[in-house]
Amino acid sequence: MTESMRRSDEYEYEYGNPTGHGSPQGPYAQQPSHSAPVNPEWPPPPSYEPPTAPAGTPQPGPAAHKKRTRGPVAMLAAVAIVAAAVGGGTAYAFQELTGKDTAASAGTTTAVVPTGKRGDVAAIAAAVSPSVVEVQATLANGSSTGSGVIITSGGEIVTNNHVVSGASSVKVRTSDGTTYPAEVVGTDSSKDLALVELKGASGLKTASLGDSSGVQVGDTVVAIGSPEGLTGTVTSGIVSALDRDVTVSTDENQGQGQDGGDGQWPFQFGGRQFNGDTGSSTTTYKAIQTDASLNPGNSGGALIDASGHVIGINSAMYSSSSQSSSSSDAGSIGLGFAIPVNTVKSDLAKLRAGSTS
């Protein structure tokens, strides 16, 4: 009996006054929530346990808690996967276009003109000039000088077929004055296009190829090339007309004489012959007409829109100097043509495959 009472007192002392100070006796002594009160006249303390749900109510278990916690994470992961898929698809499309790791599509590799500088010739020239080169071809009966556009950082250059046609060797000079030996990879005389690849080049600045389907008559354009060997010459004008039928010769020896450049390359437009006779072997393509000054040596260079995207490859121009020795008659008369860049892009796979048509 005594032992029982002593243990009860000890229990009350330990739990009724956790600090161990003061008397544990009396009605105000704290009681543990899980034990009966010392004085049965005092009601038990309120329970702080979570209310028990009625029988049959589903209880949230650990799995449900995890599911709620991971919901936002799962959503973020899904968004990341979708974004990666879209980005990957876009990159794949660009690589399919160029066949290289470095794409030359609009807005991918070349810093184009800022919105506030749109249409500013100086800004366009600064952005695109490093991507335009001079092409020098050695022929059996002389030489040819034209221009080209860098489309991959490893040194793929798009130019005109008539600039390199029949060449025994080709050299390319970049805007910084570096000269590279080059080889002709493929040609397409039906579109007057050729693909040249530099040897030992890397880290070149590529042009941003635009979309010629959106070009409109009256749009501001800039032409960059190497007229008469003057590398990096810039001229400007507008788009004069679209879908002009331009007929050029497919004869590799046509009009290419000793140091003749490409100024004598003949073409036909509107039933008239320019720069000589095109001969019997010809091809016709749809061209962008421009009044931007084009002169011998501009062939293969870039025609650029107000945002700095290449929309065409300059290919034919009337040079009155071929008709007269008078200096007053020499130079551009504002009649030039460019191959639409969409035609170029659609022809790249064929050129890379080594076509010699």
Which segments of 115-266 are extended strands (E)? 132-139, 142-150, 156-159, 169-173, 179-188, 193-198, 220-225, 233-249
Catalytic residue among 147, 153, 162, 322: 162
Q: What span, in angstroms and rounded, lies between the C-alpha atoms of 302 and 110? A: 14
Q: What span, in angstroms and rounded, lies between the C-alpha atoms of 255 and 263? A: 9
Cβ proximity of 300 and 160 under 8 Å: yes
Catalytic residue among 188, 192, 291, 347: 192
With a CB cutoff of 8 Å and minimum separation 6, the contacts of 328 are none
Cβ proximity of 240 and 290 under 8 Å: yes
Q: What span, in angstroms and rounded, lies between the C-alpha atoms of 313 and 348? A: 13
User: Would residue 299 show up in a list of annotated catalytic residues for this protein?
Assistant: yes
Catalytic residue among 240, 249, 299, 332: 299
Cβ proximity of 164 and 170 under 8 Å: yes
The burial of 221, by beta-carbon neighbours within 10 Å (0-12 exposed, 13-18 middle, 19 or more buried), is given as: buried
The amino acid at 127: A
| Length of the chain counted residue by residue | 357
Cβ proximity of 274 and 287 under 8 Å: no
Q: What span, in angstroms and rounded, lies between the C-alpha atoms of 165 and 163? A: 6
User: Would residue 65 show up in a list of annotated catalytic residues for this protein?
Assistant: no
Which of 206, 352, 224, 231 shows the shortest CA–CA distance to 290? Answer: 224
Which of 22, 307, 11, 298 shows the shortest CA–CA distance to 148? Answer: 298
Catalytic residues: 162, 192, 299
